[in-house]
Structure 1
Amino acid sequence: MSTPLSDRLRGLLEPLVSARGWDLEDVQVTPAGKRRVLRVVVDSDEGVLLDACAELSREISGALDDTDTMGATPYVLEVTSPGADRPLRHQRHYRRAVGRLVKARLAAGGELVARVTAVDDTGLDVEVPGAKGRPATARRLDFAEIASARVEIEFSRQAAGGPDGSRDESKEEA
């Protein structure tokens, strides 16, 4: 839900985030006692390294200090990347999840756990793991068929950055 404050913050922060080639995923302002927490969530196709996130935090802090956007109430600034189990809402989120296992709640009902193999403008190709040693099956999902989806955490996953095109999770992310 968009508020006048979040709209003003997006207008101020979007150019700073875009200048790095990143996406501004979310801006949240929540009360925390006598102060507020301003959480800025950013991401990119390559992920967001912790040091780069800290640099952006300093830039955002300076920009906020130069304006009265946050008003007189004290606040804590958090600049972060989405978690590993991030919700998938946009085509770019699915593109970044190629090679990853996702759990999708289908608009027609039911759930599907599958590995994303390709993404285009209208939907995604997935590989549904076979049950009890059976081979995986390919399936096509249009975005309209997906009510919601999240990346599934895999503790026994093959090394990232392999031939499946997945992101290198050995990088330190924010």
Structure 2
Amino acid sequence: MAAPEHPAHAERVRQVVEPAVASVGLLLEDVAVRRSAGRSVVEVVVDLSEDDADGLDLDRIADATRAVSDALDAADTITGEYTLEVMSPGVSRPLTERRHFTHAVGHAVVVHLNDGALVSGRLTAVERSGADDGTIVVVPVTPGLKGRKPVIGDPVRVSLSEVRAAHVEVDLTGVGPVDDDEAGADADAGQES
């Protein structure tokens, strides 16, 4: 089991890493430093700014990795050998800031409100109403039963100040084992007679 480093050490690493991440046009979401198999492991989570429409692809992660590695080596913040892991936050991360919601537009979300209510459906918009606040628009979608079309509800507007917790709901419809009859037909179609 990997033991975490002292928090002050992680903060020193953050101070070195943050400008490097910013230099490639990304935001530093999180830094963790831990020990594993006798060496340090530096985990850096990067994200997009709210207005960044380019997406976070492997090329941008590679650019961030090079910049962070160079900065760590130059600052000599990590003693000895270390492993650097630069990654995106992933779909399972909680939506806690307006920029998180902005990049989740088009996805199914589950939103828990401060009053205990629950709103779920397709996030269709994030409206800005200040530096830190905003309003999200969620269109409730209830799956249709027994082959019926889903029921689309009226859009629900929620101020971000009313949100207690939220996350993207991963849609796994259509993912699963292939039906044997279909697989057999596809295999037969590919054979020459």
Alignment partner, residue 87 of structure 2? 80
Q: Kindly provide the CA deviation profile for residues 67-121 of structure 1, in whole angstroms up to 9, marking residues without a partner as x.
A: 2322x25421101111122221111111111111112222222433221111123
Residue 128, structure 1, aligned to residue 132, structure 2: no
Alignment partner, residue 45 of structure 2? 41
Q: Specify the SS of the correspondent of 2:155.
A: strand
- Contact 1:30–1:37 at 8 Å: present in 2 too? yes
2 CA distance for matches of 1:75 and 1:24?
A: 19
Alignment partner, residue 7 of structure 2? 3
Residue 25, structure 1, aligned to residue 25, structure 2: no
Q: Specify the SS of the correspondent of 1:66.
A: helix
- Per the normalisation by structure 2, the TM-score is 0.70
Residue 69, structure 1, aligned to residue 58, structure 2: no
1 CA distance for matches of 2:143 and 2:169?
A: 18
Alignment partner, residue 160 of structure 1? none
Runs (4+) of structure 1 moved beyond 4 Å? none
2 CA distance for matches of 1:31 and 1:113?
A: 39
- Per the normalisation by structure 1, the TM-score is 0.77
Shift of 1:62: 1.8
More helix by share: 2
Q: 1:51 to 1:131 in 2, by over 3 A?
A: closer
RMSD after superposition: 2.3
Shift of 1:18: 1.4
Alignment partner, residue 12 of structure 1? 16
Partner letter of residue 146 of structure 1?
V
Identical-pair percentage = 37
1 CA distance for matches of 2:77 and 2:85?
A: 16
Question: Where in structure 1 are there 5+ consecutive unaligned residues?
Answer: 158-174
User: Rg bigger for which structure?
Assistant: 2
> How many residues are aligned here?
155
* Structure having greater relative contact order (Cα 8 Å, sep ≥ 6): 1
